[in-house]
Each structure stands twice: as structure tokens, then as C-alpha cells.
Structure 1
């Protein structure tokens, strides 16, 4: 479904729904970025998955898989440093 409508097709309700969806996606992206930062860049110990799960409202396994290597790379570029060395996947 396209957000851009011809002038005659413009619907204020659908426009607001599209806007809300954009905001939700942006909020989800921000949360993934923050989780990646908390798990991959905090030294000497990352935030625990249990803490992150409680904060995000996700399960521990959902939190563990909520961000990608691309998001970790984006955080690294943004803060100007590399992620910490991971010695385990628990936590």
C-alpha cells in the first residue's frame, strides 16, 4: 500500500495511520539500536538479557535476537568505537 495518494484520494484517517506506522517503526528501530548498544558496547559487562527483556517487553530470546550485525555496525559508526569482545552468549 502506498502512502502517497493522488490529491483526490487523500484520506486524513489513512494518512494518520501511515504516520503512526512510521513512528512505530522508528521506535522499534531505536529500541533495537539501544539494545545493541547495551549488549555489545558496555564494558566490562553488558546489560543482562533479563534486564533488557524487562525493559523492552520482550522475552529473553526475543531480546537476544532483536538486533543484527548491521545494527551493531551502525552503533559502532555512530559512537566511533568497536563493540566489546564477546566471550560468551549468555547473560
Structure 2
């Protein structure tokens, strides 16, 4: 059963209309300022404003992609119990289940550590890399020990070692 709608006074409607008009005007003003800024920079550099805008968006995209790699690293490496499951991280990050585990590396882990001011609680990636190194060296006891350390405390399954990047 839907909740009953609250009565809205004429004064509240007028306030909402004025706010919408103000916001619309502000947005138009911001667009005009951005167009002016792009044209000024374009003339100063001798570059088409479209190319400047695309370059700026490409830079933003790289920053967002880096953040999308750092957030799973934060979840997987810096918490005793993971905040989110791999499936959920995959769905929200646009990666596959495996891509969440392999989508970040030492660089992202270090960036998170610097940002939050502490080292990882469970450096799972390092343990998996140690297992891969031990496997390459042909040391089965070291491999077994390293793989046992990569067991997920949540699922009880053993996480397979990652391929080196």
C-alpha cells in the first residue's frame, strides 16, 4: 500500500519553482563561463577547444579508473572482513569477478596506504605473489604454505595465485 502523499502548500510550491529557476540560471551561467574559458585557453595555446575538452575528459577518466582500482584494493587489503563480496565489487566497478582480484597491484595498494596512513592488514596480493615465486622456484612446501595463507576468511575457499603483471 503506497504511503499517503503529504499536502504541499502554495508557498512550498513557489519556493521550489524559484529554486528551480535559480538553479537553471546558475547552470546556464556555468556553461557560458566554461565556454569562455575553453575559448580563451584555445586561443592562447592555438588548440581547438573540442580537443582541449576531450583531453580534460581523458585525464578525468584516468583518475576515475585509478580510483576504481584503489577502492577494491582498500576493501581487499585493508580490512579484516571484506566490506563487500567479489561479486558485488565486480558489479559496481564494471569488472569481472576475477578482474576485481587482479585489477589492482602494488602501486594501488601503496597509494591507498599513503592515503589512509597505514599498511594493509592482510596483504593478500603479496602472499599470492610469494606463492607464484615459490612455484617458479619449485618449492612445493613454500607454495602450500603461501596458498594456505591466501584462504579467504569469509568463504573458506582458497584463492588461486595471481599471475604476475
Cα RMSD between the aligned structures? Answer: 2.1
Q: Taking structure 1 as reference, are residues 6 and 68 closer, same or farther at Cα in structure 2, changes over 3 Å only?
A: farther
Q: TM-score, normalised by structure 1?
A: 0.79
Matched residue SS, 1:63: helix
1:34 corresponds, among 71, 77, 91, to 71
Report the alpha carbon displacement of residue 88 of structure 1 after superposing the two structures with TM.
1.8
Count matched residues. Answer: 85
Runs of 4 or more, structure 1, over 6 Å off, are none
Is the helix fraction higher in 1 or 2?
2
Q: What's the counterpart of residue 72 of structure 1?
A: 109
Structure 1 unaligned blocks of 5 or more: none
Report the alpha carbon displacement of residue 48 of structure 1 after superposing the two structures with TM.
2.2
> In terms of Rg, which structure is larger?
2
Q: What's the counterpart of residue 88 of structure 1?
A: 150
Structure 2 unaligned blocks of 5 or more: 1-41, 125-148, 152-158, 160-165
Report the alpha carbon displacement of residue 77 of structure 1 after superposing the two structures with TM.
1.8
Q: TM-score, normalised by structure 2?
A: 0.46
1:55 corresponds, among 68, 75, 92, to 92
| Greater relative CO (CA pairs within 8 A, separation 6+) | 1
Matched residue SS, 1:22: helix
